[in-house]
Structure 1
Amino acid sequence: MKVLIAIDGSNFSRDALQWYLKAIHTPGNKVILVHVTNHLHNFAYNTSIIPGDPELIRLAYQEEEHKAKAIIDEAKEFIGKHQIDGEVVRLFGNPGEQIVKKAEDIEATLVITGSRGLGTIRRTVLGSVSDYVIHHSHVPVIVYQHH
């Protein structure tokens, strides 16, 4: 089985990854952990940025890069610690679109994502990565939500 697991550094994605390891993983599975950076979305919803201030934009970009590196490093450590046949991939753009495209490109047999549990209004306004993946993926999708 080839499994794509979306990671974003949140406890929700960590929980989904732990759940996969306990409930589904078997030796021989190939696991691709995918982190998607969406600078445009992050900047659009960051109210601390003054439009047109290059220094603040540069600092915000550096902060996003620092966060992404930490997520990637944590994911690589997880794969190594649990001796998983897998890799960590970083993509850029709209997370839902990139996850679905990567799943198609690698011919994944399953996609797993965590759910942040956004309220109805926030999900409607901001969109939901898991909603997008569910509706556009050509393979089964598990949305893990810890209760």
Structure 2
Amino acid sequence: MSERRIGVAVDFSVGSLAALQWAIDNVVRKGDHLILLTIRPDAYDQTEVQLWEATGSPLIPLAELKDPNIMKKYGTTPDAETLDVVSSAATQKEVVVLMKIFWGDPREKLCEAVDSVPIDYLVIGNRGLGKLKRAIMGSVSNYVVNQSSCPVTVVKHA
């Protein structure tokens, strides 16, 4: 059985944590690569990041995700709860946990990530915007479901 690359969109919100937990409970299995996809809306003003703006960061291993100094270089700070969830998954399910950070529009960058990493299956949370806000702002999850080249599951946060 070949290794699968399961992507989970994470922004360290309650909704993305719910999507991550759902993916671990329902999709991820031994030998998989669990790839956390983080999209930063703003270009971060560091030289390294400017190099990665088009392609995203390199794949960041779990050990580096836990190091605040390394994560500061990428302009992101994973929360303790997300780190606990993925650390447990790495140990209990025997999966490889990696993160890839992109800068730009979340809709476009998540679809790019599916093709560039590549991702076999994507899990994304939703923020539960009302109909009016969703009409004005557009739904990231709706866009990704319709544009992605891999299967996508949207996990609704209660």
1:25-104 aligned within 5 A: 25-39=28-42, 69-71=76-78, 75-83=82-90, 84-104=95-115
Per-residue CA distance 1:87-132 (angstroms, 9 max, x = gap): 0111100001101101111221111100111111101111111011
Contact 2:103/2:109, CA 8 A, preserved across alignment: yes
Write the distance in 2 (CA, Å) between the matches of 1:75 and 1:106: 21
Preserved CA contact (<8 Å) 2:21 2:85: no
Task: Specify which of 8, 14, 18 is matched with residue 15 of structure 1.
Answer: 18
With over 3 angstroms needed to count, the CA separation of the structure-2 counterparts of 1:76 and 1:89, relative to structure 1, is farther
Which sections of structure 1, spanning at least 5 residues, go unmatched? 41-64
With over 3 angstroms needed to count, the CA separation of the structure-2 counterparts of 1:26 and 1:11, relative to structure 1, is same
Tell me the percent identity. 26
Gaps of 5+ in 2: 44-71
CA distance in 2, matches of 1:34, 1:137: 14
Aligned to 2:122: 111
Q: Who is 2:133 aligned against?
A: 122
Aligned mates of 2:80, 2:38 — CA distance in 1: 11
Structure 2 SS opposite 1:28:
coil
Summarize deviations over 1:58-83 as a string: whole Å, max 9, x none. Answer: xxxxxxx8xx6223776555433321
Give the TM-score taking structure 1 as reference length.
Answer: 0.74
Structure 1 range deviating more: 69-78 or 86-95: 69-78
Stretch moving more, 72-81 or 26-35: 72-81
Residue type of the alignment partner of 1:26:
R
Question: Which structure: larger Rg?
Answer: 1
Task: Select the structure that is richer in helix.
Answer: 1
Q: Which TM-score applies when normalising by structure 2?
A: 0.69
1:142 aligns with 2:153: yes
